Structure 1
């Protein structure tokens, strides 16, 4: 796989229009207008410094770390295939 160069964070905001300014700090992947959050990817080397700067912004409520990199994406087939019993 690829070496981990970026980490995802969910930034909860008060103002969606102001959330466009987050592009200065990292790669904005998604902005939810209804739930008022943005998914942003940051460089690992400058992550702590960038998070401190983002937290100081007046329209930011809180920042959460994305757990997507920790989710298991390799699946195994442990049970037998039961679809053959349901065929006509």
Structure 2
């Protein structure tokens, strides 16, 4: 099974009634009624095209990109200070 690389888009809109139209542009994940934004996932190879199409829509105020695919998510192991570990066991 081949996984496609995807990236999230945060689409800010003016009214809730237009959320149905956003489903055509990608996989709709969640919608905030109070803050009026939606999170959509799109294939990375189609990203620029989708952003341009979304920005042209009259009810969209702004489109932000998620930078999660570009953030390092592997963390190095750090050495624990033995003196601090002893203090935590003592209850200090």
Normalised to the residue count of structure 2, the TM-score between the two structures is: 0.77
**Residues paired across the two proteins, number:** 87
Cα displacement (A) at 1:47: 2.1
The TM-score, its normalising length taken from structure 1, stands at 0.79
> When you count helix as a share of all residues, which structure comes out higher?
2
Structure 2 spans left out of the alignment, 5+ residues: none
1:4-29 CA-partner distances (Å, limit 9, x unpaired): 52111111111122123211110011
Matched, 1:46 2:46: yes
Please name the residue that 1:66 is paired with. Answer: 66
CA apart distance, 1:49: 2.0
More displaced 10-residue stretch of structure 1: 11-20 or 59-68:
11-20
Say which one has the larger Rg.
2
Deviation, 1:84, is 4.3
